[in-house]
Amino acid sequence: MNAGHLAALAFLLPLLGTALVVLCGRRPNLREAMTILTGLATFVLVASLVPRLHAGESIRMDFFEVLPGLPLAFDVEPLGLLFALVASGLWILTSCYSIGYMRAHHEEHQTRFYAFFAIAISCAIGIAFSGNVFTLFLFYEALTLSTYPLVTHHGSEAAAKAGRAYLGILVTTSVAFLFTGIVWTWIIAGTVEFRPGGILQGKTNPLTAAVLLGLYVFGTGKAAVMPFHRWLPNAMVAPTPVSALLHAVAVVKAGVFTVLKVTVYVFGIDFLRETGASAWLAWVAAATMILAGLVALTRDGLKERLAYSTISQLAYIVLGAMVAHRLGIIGGALHIVAHAFGKITLFFCAGGILVATHKTKVSELDGLGRTMPVTMSAFFLASLSVIGLPPFGGSWSKLLLAMGAVQAGHAPLAWLLLAGSLLSAAYLLPISARAFLAPPKDDHRQEAPAMCLGPICFTTAGALALFFLSNPIHRLLEGIR
């Protein structure tokens, strides 16, 4: 079986998982086993593509032509493979966590939950492996639709409202900006394929390129660039595993992945540097980063604070793409992984706190370090990763991003990156400080459920390991031309 077929299989496997989950809906244990098994199988398949990519094999799969000249096609390259690894790997952990959370919280409609979760992962892999912008757009929209039932899971009026905002902002940006940008690209370049060096070289002037790039960046609502970021804090009404999915695994990472991929393979780093078309967007990203960080400082709701933190961290990646330098791209890609592990841990902990103590506000978390030591220690360590301190993975990515900004001639942006890190310290560390240093409000010792603690420890370890294991990832990313 050639590598292209493996990639197609990796995409189809979660869909098969959906069918299995629905079939086993009546028997929860069997159903959960189906999810875990499918997750493991998908991850193994995706991982098997890594040596093939290193060997220089072309991993292509052309499915069929949707419109003349617009095929549905896969073409796996380093960025996409990295994203797919993150998505499939963290799916396994999120599924384990979900089992603990959903059962301890006595959530309803669990079959629907696991089913749409699997479909969403499939869409994420589709985005990761896409060989042209059209395929990416198709799966991007499918991801929005398949995560809608997850966001509105609780069925309450608040959930419905959040769902409407979610759908409204994401579909509006994708139809108004992204779709227009894709058609325009098709007209200018005659193709929408992802190619090393981009497809616009020599075909258009700097102003058009700047506008076109703006259409892509603002059209990718999932990257939560301001002012199209409101869907993210609104979506916090969903169950915590969904927030973990939204914030670490699939949705937002799909957004910034799209930005990175379009930057490298549609526009091309050299083309952007020559035309300077991305400079204005780098500043938009920097503004998002700082503003979101400032808002995070003011939020008392734990998940809301983490949501704004995510918006800020995503802006790092967009900034890295927009400085039009190789180091920025690599830093951004590394940050996808580092932030994924860090943020997912933070959300897992938030969910654990909710299930164990029914607390949702930062101000209520005093002394929780005593009663939930494992959870809060993990929270503390993950905070360090998100802030960007060694020995955690987040430090490498932030370093590379800063270096990329400086080498591209945007030294002020590097200072803003530093400011952003300080802000993240300001809104994250007090939580851990209050948890460990302040006296507890009540004294019953109750940790998060065991099925939740396992994944929490795993992801924390992952964030730590990324510091030491960044080399293999670096090697993978070397392949980006």
Partner 1 sequence: MLRHNLPALIVVVPLLGGILTPILFRRGARPWAWATFVVASTFALSVALLLQVRGVLPAWSAYPSYPMGSWPIPWGIELRLDPLGAFVLVIISLVATVVTFAARRSLEREIPEDRRHFFYAVWILCITGFLGITITGDAFNVYVLLETASLASYILVGMGRDRDRRALKASVNYLLLGSIGACLILLGIGYIYMVTGTLNMADMAARLGEIRAKWEGGEMIYRRTVMVAVAFFAVGIGLKLALFPLHAWLPDAYTYAPSMASALLAGISTKVGAYVAMRFFFTVLGPEVSFRPIPTGTILQWCAAAGIVYGSLMALRQTEVKRILAYSSVAQVGYIALGIGIATPTGLQGSIVHLLNHAITKSGLFVALAAVALQAKGTTLVDLRGLGRRMPVTMAAFTAGGLGLIGIPMTAGFVSKWYLVKASIEQGLILPVVAVVVGSLLALAYVWRVVEAVYQPSADPGVREAPWSVVVSTWILIGASLFFGLHATLTSRLSLEAAHALLRGGP
Residue 176 CB, shortest distance to partner 1, in Å, is 5
Residues that bind partner 1 (CB under 8 A): 64-68, 72, 137-138, 141-142, 145, 155, 160, 164, 167-168, 171-172, 175-176, 179-180, 183-184, 186-187
Nearer to partner 1, 89 or 131 (CB): 131
In sequence order, the 6+-apart residues with CB closer than 8 A to the CB of 479 are 53, 54, 77, 78
Nearer to partner 1, 160 or 287 (CB): 160
Residue 190 CB, shortest distance to partner 1, in Å, is 12
Nearer to partner 1, 71 or 320 (CB): 71
Residue 120 CB, shortest distance to partner 1, in Å, is 16
Residue 184 CB, shortest distance to partner 1, in Å, is 5
Residue 187 CB, shortest distance to partner 1, in Å, is 6
Nearer to partner 1, 228 or 396 (CB): 228
Residue 262 CB, shortest distance to partner 1, in Å, is 17
> Which residue type occupies 15?
L
Nearer to partner 1, 60 or 112 (CB): 112
Most distant CA atoms of the chain, gap in Å: 68
Distance between CA atoms of residues 30 and 26, nearest Å: 9
Nearer to partner 1, 157 or 442 (CB): 157
Q: Is there a contact between 449 and 355 (Cβ–Cβ < 8 Å)?
A: yes
Residue 175 CB, shortest distance to partner 1, in Å, is 5
Residue 68 CB, shortest distance to partner 1, in Å, is 5
Q: Is there a contact between 201 and 274 (Cβ–Cβ < 8 Å)?
A: no
Q: Is there a contact between 330 and 398 (Cβ–Cβ < 8 Å)?
A: no
Q: Is there a contact between 73 and 135 (Cβ–Cβ < 8 Å)?
A: yes
Residue 211 CB, shortest distance to partner 1, in Å, is 12
* Orientation angle between helical segments 78-104 and 326-357, nearest 10 degrees: 10
Nearer to partner 1, 180 or 191 (CB): 180
Calculate Rg over the CA atoms of the chain.
21
Residue 67 CB, shortest distance to partner 1, in Å, is 5
Tell me the CA distances in angstroms from 123 to 128, 140, 257, one per residue in order. 9, 7, 13
Tell me the CA distances in angstroms from 279 to 153, 282, 317, 405, one per residue in order. 40, 5, 14, 11
Residue 458's nearest CA partner among 121, 87, 94 is 94
Distance between CA atoms of residues 447 and 322, nearest Å: 43
Nearer to partner 1, 219 or 241 (CB): 219
Helix, strand, coil tally for the chain in percent (to 5): 75, 5, 20
Tell me the CA distances in angstroms from 405 to 218, 411, 433, one per residue in order. 21, 6, 32
323: tokens are 């400085």
Residue 183's φ and ψ, nearest 5 degrees, are -60, -40
Q: Could you identify the residue written with the tokens 């002394």?
A: 367
Nearer to partner 1, 51 or 155 (CB): 155
Which stretch of DSSP H or E encloses residue 209? helix 206-219
Distance between CA atoms of residues 27 and 33, nearest Å: 10
Residue 239 CB, shortest distance to partner 1, in Å, is 18
Residue 13 CB, shortest distance to partner 1, in Å, is 20
Nearer to partner 1, 222 or 335 (CB): 222
In sequence order, the 6+-apart residues with CB closer than 8 A to the CB of 433 are none
122: tokens are 């499939």
Nearer to partner 1, 61 or 480 (CB): 61
| DSSP bridge pairs for 74 | 61, 130
> What 8-state DSSP symbol labels residue 237?
G
Nearer to partner 1, 145 or 465 (CB): 145
In sequence order, the 6+-apart residues with CB closer than 8 A to the CB of 330 are 400, 404, 474, 477, 480
Residue 174 CB, shortest distance to partner 1, in Å, is 10
Which stretch of DSSP H or E encloses residue 193? none
Nearer to partner 1, 211 or 422 (CB): 211
